[in-house]
Amino acid sequence: MTANELRKLYVSYYKERGHKLAAATSLVPENDASVLYTTAGMQPLVPYLLEKEHPLGKRLVNVQRCVRTGDIEEVGDDYHLTVFEMLGNWSLGDYFKKEAITMSFEFLTEKLNIPVSSLAVTVYKGNDKVPYDAEATQTWLELGLSKEQIFYYGDDENWWGPAGETGPCGPDSEMFYVNDLPDCSEECGPACSCGKYVELGNNVFMAYNKDKDGNLTELKQKNVDVGLGFERLLILANNLQNVYETDLFVPLINKWKK
């Protein structure tokens, strides 16, 4: 599958499910002083996640170039890039957890043919203000994941907010590909960086707004923000080892070799 075919497959999958294609925006955000670069597909959507009406409606899909300075130290391994593309889809006050997780799961397992047995997911375990995400767990179990494939983490791993730290945020449920490797330790799991677990994407349930003092207020409009790692899915779809073997890089590398 070429990079272009994967972009098209993703966008058409969500269009068939009522999503409208939102244009990608500049890597340098406009009208957003909270970040230097666009760090996620949701970054340009912040006003709409905070209840402003989006001209394209309540279901969106897009493909967005992103930069994460926090990832720079990892660039050069099999999966991290300075600039990457995020496949994103959103519900702006429309469907919520069950539908979002189900669509993510079906895209990975039915469109990309990733075996269910090779997946692991994480679920928010709650804190003193926000409850454990029982609905996410229940949905993953109904979709056929076993209890052993579901891992529970707190605010460090399973809470997502934009890079500027204020704004729409909430508990999330991440999806991982499990490489056929032994556990590196007794604590080995999706939060571990030993290489066994490769993050494929994240379902964020944006039900809160965080202010500059760190206070959370519940949003009237409950949103879903899903982001998938485009290059990682391209590696898996083609049974490759690393991003440099994909058609994003092979033609360039071949030119340099000449």
Shorter beta-carbon distance to ligand SER: residue 66 or 236: 66
Q: Which part of the chain contacts ligand SER (CB under 6 A), choosing from 35-43, 135-143, 144-152, 248-256?
A: 35-43
Closest CA to 171 of 136, 124, 127, 120: 124
- Measure the CA–CA gap between 173 and 117, rounded to whole angstroms: 17
List the structure tokens of 27.
């890597």
Q: Does 168 bind ligand SER (CB under 6 A)?
A: no
Q: Does 190 bind ligand SER (CB under 6 A)?
A: no
Q: Which part of the chain contacts ligand SER (CB under 6 A), choosing from 102-110, 130-138, 184-192, 222-230?
A: 222-230
> What backbone torsions phi and psi does residue 111 show, to the nearest 5 degrees?
-90, -35
Q: Does 42 bind ligand SER (CB under 6 A)?
A: yes
- Measure the CA–CA gap between 15 and 256, rounded to whole angstroms: 38
- Measure the CA–CA gap between 38 and 30, rounded to whole angstroms: 9
**160 strand-pairing partners:** 170
Asked if 9 and 111 touch (Cβ cutoff 8 Å), the reply is yes
Find the binder of ligand SER among 6, 45, 204, 237 (CB under 6 A).
204
Strand pairing category for 167-178 and 197-210: antiparallel
Numbers of helices and strands, H then E, in the chain? 7, 9
Q: Does 231 bind ligand SER (CB under 6 A)?
A: no
Q: Does 63 bind ligand SER (CB under 6 A)?
A: no
Tell me, what amino acid is at 78?
A: D
Q: Please report, as residue ranges, which positions from 102 to 121 form the binding site for ligand SER (by CB under 6 A).
A: none
Q: Which part of the chain contacts ligand SER (CB under 6 A), choosing from 52-60, 100-108, 180-188, 223-231?
A: 223-231
- The least distance separating ligand SER from the CB of residue 204, rounded to whole angstroms, comes to 5
Q: Does 202 bind ligand SER (CB under 6 A)?
A: yes
Find the binder of ligand SER among 160, 176, 197, 208 (CB under 6 A).
160
Positions in the binding site for ligand SER (CB under 6 A): 40-42, 88, 160, 202, 204, 225-227
